[in-house]
Structures are given as C-alpha cells and as structure tokens.
C-alpha cells in the first residue's frame, strides 16, 4: 500500500491509488465532505474528498469520525483549497473500524502531555508523539550509520548481568525464586543463575572486552536503572549508545563524541525537515537554532576545576552550593551550557571520588580522565572516560571502591593480557531525542515510559 508521505511528495494529479489510515477530522459541507487522513508516515494528512455519488455516502459519513480506520480508492487531483497541493477524490471507501465520538479519547483538540501519558496506547496517533517517533527512528538510523561508516562493530551486550558497572547500586534484581515464599536470608546459589543477577545499567564492561579484540565497537540497546528519581530526565528503562575504542585517549574520546552529535543532528535535520519544523513552531522555538548551534559551533571544552571556578564566579544563586569535589547538579550543568557558553560544553577531569572505578587516574592522583557533555535544557547528555588500563592502579582503585576483584576477574584479565589505552562514552538516547525535539519531559520521547510507580502499557 502506498504511504501518504510518498503521495504528498510524488503524487501527480490523475494518479489512481489506494490509501489506508485513520481519520483525523471530518468536515461536512452541503455538496461534499472532506476527510483529513493520516497513516503515520508523515506529519501531514492527506485530504480526501467524498462526494454524494460515493456508494453509501450517508452511512459512511456517519461512521467516518475522528479515529476511525479506513481504506480509500480514488484519483488524485489538484486541490483548489489552500493548505495542500493535491487531494484524493474517493471512488470507493471501506471503514475497517469505528471510533465512537462519544468515547474516543483523542478528539480533535489540544490535550496535555500529562493526559496523553495516561493513554499511551493511543497517543502515538497524535501529531507530537508521531513526530517524536519519526525523529527517533531517523536518529537511530543515523547513529548506526555514523559508526558503521567508521568501521565500528555493533555488539550486543547482555541485558542480564552480575556486575554493577557504575557502582551506584541502582540495579533491578533478576530472579526466578518465588518471592512470596521467601523469608529471611536468600540462598542465591539456588537461584536461576546460581548467583545474584541484575538488569544491566550499562554495556560498557562487555564493550571493553570486545574493544580488546575488535578495536572499535559500539552497543546500542536498553539499559535499566532503579534510581528513584522522578525527574523530567530520568527513566528506569532507557536506551544507551556506548562506543568503546582501543588505542584512544580522552582527547580522542571527546573528538568522537563531538563529531558524533554533530553528524546525528545534521542527518535528522536533513531527513525529518517537516517534523523538526513542527517542533520548532509548536514545542520549543529554539529547536532549530539549537540544532544549528550543535552542528556549526565548536563545543566548549573545560576541566572540572575550571567549571567549579566559573560556577563560583557566577552571579547566579544555586540551590546546591558549589565547591571543588561536589558532583555537578543539573542546575550547574545547565547554567554552564545554557547561560554561560550557550552551546554544548565538555567538562573533563572530575574528582575521582565522584566517578566510577573504571576511569583512568590522572597524575595528580585526585582526578580521573572523565568527560561529560553538557547541553542546554538537559544538562548531562553524554558521560564517558578514558579507562584505567594499568592493572595495579585498577586493582587499587577497586579496593578503595569496595569492589571485590573476584567478581570482575575477567575485566582485570583484560589488563593482564595485551592491555591498551582505551576510552569510550555513553549517550542517553532519549535525552538526545529530548534535545532534538525540545520535548521537556523524557516520558514523552519514549513510547512506553517506565518510571517509579509506572509500568502500565
């Protein structure tokens, strides 16, 4: 079946075709009626003209309410009315399914995003969520293309794992034990995997394994965090892109991340012009200028120590006070990217005490070769680092972080046999889509959001 996007792009008056979709609106006039039909292939609707000569005109018209599904056969013709160039004059029309106007929730009016979250099974049919999903698809496609063109191998890291990569203890447990029968101490030897198992928070450790054989690899898949943060930027289930490069240092890591963001934005602007225009007009008027900014301006690069100095000098009062050693809060990150630099900022060399065990210790013994990319509106969008490739330093660091080396013996083996300098980063895919679309809540850039207290649909 031909899709509406293709018809609106290439259809010529006189073409005879069959289209299927859902009614967005109906307007009944004295001599004929209009339908706006959408099939999800693009933001625009196809205008369909129904004339009283159409078989069963009256009956069909009563059924063709917002949300009803149909198939229509007809001839394209030039549209005399403004708003579109072509329209379809119906010769035959079938209704597949009705949508009772008295109870179909998506009537033609503005609905709040909060309300739409309660009907996540129907909201993909709205303009906004439709545009989000098409942009997300284009972004995913360009992410794969970016890495494939550079010879990176796509790897599938496990979803079930025994290791807490980030060491933050925010893992969902995976078990086949009957929780209702358990009381007191649990014997994990008897559990499915014979040990404690979790949903992964990151595919990085496995990506490092693969990078030690294939040099450049990336993961692109789901990750899970049981952190109880009810913010507009946190999900319990989200997708992450994690490239890992052997023979690469922090500088190379930053360079890759910057060109990666630039290219993905460029590609989405090229491939989804109508949807991106929609976001700029309807959601956030800085969407296109933000994209332009990311594509065309060099990112700012500062160290954590410089970031702290800039924050201390700022006339702004922050809710969380600033001193060297603190973890930057979202308000600090946003101030740097949004107000001070007005473009993405890469912050490097954070204090070791606030970062994960695997980051490479700098010569000052206080900071690690970390890098976070901060962007306007969101704050941190990418977190990465050069990895500790020296066995003795890594062992020392794990000891001070209370990570038993028995658990990560295989990770340590990578440093025992043919270790190399290497680096990588993780991009939160939904945060990227938030930045691209200007959508203020992360729950509205994922089809089925999982957040504390929420796993319906």
- β-sheet with 422-428: strand ranges across: 153-155, 216-224, 237-246, 422-428, 379-386, 367-375, 345-351, 300-303
- In which element (H, E) is residue 251 found? helix 250-271
Q: Which of residues 221-250 bind ligand 4AD (CB under 6 A)?
A: 225, 227, 234-235, 238, 240, 242
Q: What is the number of the residue whose Cβ is closest to Mg ion?
A: 383
**Tokens 């059924």 map to which residue?**
63
**Is residue 139 a contact point for ligand 4AD (CB under 6 A)?**
no
Does residue 430 touch ligand 4AD according to CB under 6 A?
Answer: yes
Strand partners, 315: none
Report the run of H or E that residue 93 belongs to, with start and end: strand 86-97
Per the CB < 8 A criterion, the answer to whether 383 and 366 are in contact is: no
Cβ atoms of residues 49 and 87 within 8 Å = yes
Contacts (Cβ under 8 Å, ≥6 apart) of 226: 170, 171, 172, 236
Among Mg ion, ligand 4AD, none, partner that 235 touches (CB below 5 to 8 angstroms by kind): ligand 4AD
Q: Is 424 in the site for Mg ion (CB under 5 A)?
A: no
**Nearest residue (CB) to ligand 4AD, 61 versus 420:** 420
Residues 6+ apart with CB under 8 A from 198: 160, 161, 162, 164, 171, 172, 173, 174
Q: Using the rule CB under 5 A, is 379 a contact of Mg ion?
A: no
Should residue 376 be labelled a site residue for Mg ion when binding is judged by CB under 5 A? Answer: no
CB closer to ligand 4AD out of 155 and 382: 382
Contact call for residue 383 and Mg ion (CB under 5 A) = yes
Q: Could you tell me how many residues of this chain bind ligand 4AD (CB under 6 A)? A: 23
Closer to ligand 4AD at the Cβ: 130 or 424? 424
Distance CA 264, CA 271 (A): 11
- Residue 21 interacts with which of ligand 4AD, Mg ion, none, CB < 5 to 8 Å by class: none
Choose which of 383, 414, 419, 434 interacts with ligand 4AD (CB under 6 A): 383
Tell the smallest beta-carbon distance from residue 300 to Mg ion (Å). Answer: 18
Two tokens at 327? 């973890």
Q: Work out how close the CB of 29 gets to Mg ion at its nearest, in angstroms, rounded to a whole number.
A: 57
Q: Transcribe 265-297 into DSSP letters.
A: HHHHHHH-HHHHHHIIIII-TTHHHHHHHHHHS
CA distances to 303, 345, 372 from 299, rounded to whole Å, are 13, 6, 12
Site string for ligand 4AD, 59-98 (x = CB under 6 A): ----------------------------------------
The rounded Cα 48 to chain-centroid distance in angstroms is 35
Q: What is the Cα–Cα distance from 69 to 412, expressed in whole angstroms?
A: 58
Q: How far is the CB of 421 from ligand 4AD (least distance, A)?
A: 15
- What DSSP assignment string belongs to 389-420? --HHHHHHHHHHTT--TTTTHHHHHHHHSS--
- 39, 164, 166, 206: residue in contact with ligand 4AD (rule CB under 6 A): 166
CB 65 within 8 Å of CB 98: yes
| Residue 205: count of CB within 10 angstroms of its CB | 21
Q: Which is nearer to ligand 4AD, 258 or 430 (CB)?
A: 430
Whose structure tokens read 């504390």? 452
> Which residues inside 172-211 make contact with ligand 4AD, applying CB under 6 A?
202, 204
424 interacts with ligand 4AD by CB under 6 A: yes
Confirm or reject binding of residue 165 to ligand 4AD (CB under 6 A).
yes
Question: Based on CB atoms, which residue is closest to ligand 4AD, 74 or 344?
Answer: 344
3-state secondary structure of 309: helix
Stretch binding ligand 4AD (CB under 6 A), from 185-193, 276-284, 344-352, 382-390: 382-390
Sole binder of ligand 4AD in the list 22, 278, 357, 425 (CB under 6 A): 425
Helix (H) or strand (E) holding 161: strand 160-161
Stretch that binds Mg ion, among 114-122, 195-203, 328-336, 376-384 (CB under 5 A): 376-384
Closest CA to 302 of 270, 269, 349: 349
Tell me how far, at minimum, the Cβ of 380 lies from Mg ion, in Å: 6
Out of 344, 384, 421, 438, point to the residue binding ligand 4AD (CB under 6 A): 384
State yes or no: residue 422 binds ligand 4AD (CB under 6 A). no
Strands 345-351 and 300-303: parallel
Q: Looking only at residues 255 through 274 of this chain, which bind ligand 4AD when binding is defined by CB under 6 A?
A: none
Q: Which stretch binds ligand 4AD (CB under 6 A): 19-27, 109-117, 342-350, 377-385?
A: 377-385
Residue ranges that bind Mg ion, judged by CB under 5 A: 383
Applying CB under 6 A, the residues found at the interface with ligand 4AD are 165-166, 202, 204, 225, 227, 234-235, 238, 240, 242, 380-385, 424-426, 428, 430-431
């Amino acid at each position: 079946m031909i899709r509406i996007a293709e018809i609106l792009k290439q259809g010529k008056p006189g073409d005879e075709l069959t289209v299927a979709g859902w009614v967005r609106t109906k307007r009944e006039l004295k001599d004929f009626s209009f339908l706006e039909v959408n099939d999800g292939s693009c933001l625009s609707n196809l205008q369909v003209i129904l004339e009283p000569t159409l078989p069963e005109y009256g009956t069909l018209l009563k059924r063709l309410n917002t949300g009803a599904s149909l198939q229509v056969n007809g001839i394209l013709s030039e549209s005399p009315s403004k708003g579109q160039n072509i329209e379809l004059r119906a010769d035959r029309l079938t209704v597949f399914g009705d949508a009772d106007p008295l109870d179909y929730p998506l009537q033609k009016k503005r609905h709040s995003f909060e309300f739409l979250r309660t009907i996540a099974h129907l909201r993909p049919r709205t303009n906004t969520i439709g545009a989000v999903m098409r942009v997300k698809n284009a972004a995913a496609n360009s992410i794969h293309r970016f890495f494939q063109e550079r010879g990176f191998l796509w790897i599938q890291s496990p979803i079930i794992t025994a290791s807490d990569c980030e060491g933050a203890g925010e893992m969902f447990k995976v078990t086949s034990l009957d929780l209702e029968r358990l009381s007191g101490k649990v014997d994990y030897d008897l559990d499915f995997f014979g040990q404690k198992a979790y949903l992964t928070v990151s595919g990085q450790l496995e990506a490092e394994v693969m990078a030690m054989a294939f040099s450049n690899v990336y993961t692109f898949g789901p990750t899970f965090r049981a952190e109880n943060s009810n913010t507009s930027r946190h999900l319990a289930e989200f997708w992450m892109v994690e490239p890992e490069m052997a023979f690469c240092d922090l500088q190379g890591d930053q360079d890759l991340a910057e060109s990666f963001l630039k290219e993905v934005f460029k590609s989405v602007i090229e491939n989804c012009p109508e949807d991106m225009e929609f976001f700029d007009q309807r959601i956030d008027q800085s969407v296109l200028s933000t994209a332009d900014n990311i594509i065309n301006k060099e990112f700012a690069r500062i160290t954590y120590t410089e970031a702290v100095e800039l924050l201390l000098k700022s006339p702004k009062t922050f809710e969380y006070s600033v001193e060297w050693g603190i973890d930057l809060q979202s308000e600090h990150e946003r101030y740097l990217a949004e107000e001070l630099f007005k473009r993405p900022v890469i912050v490097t060399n954070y204090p070791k005490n606030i970062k994960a065990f695997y980051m490479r210790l700098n010569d000052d013994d206080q900071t690690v070769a970390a890098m976070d990319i901060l962007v306007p509106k969101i704050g941190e969008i990418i977190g990465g680092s050069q990895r500790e490739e020296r066995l003795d330093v890594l062992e020392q660091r794990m000891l001070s972080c209370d990570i038993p080396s028995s658990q990560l013996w295989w990770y340590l083996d990578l440093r025992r046999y043919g270790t190399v300098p290497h680096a990588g980063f993780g991009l939160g895919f939904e945060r990227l889509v938030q930045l691209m679309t200007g959508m203020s809540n992360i729950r509205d850039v994922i089809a089925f959001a999982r957040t504390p207290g929420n796993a319906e649909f």
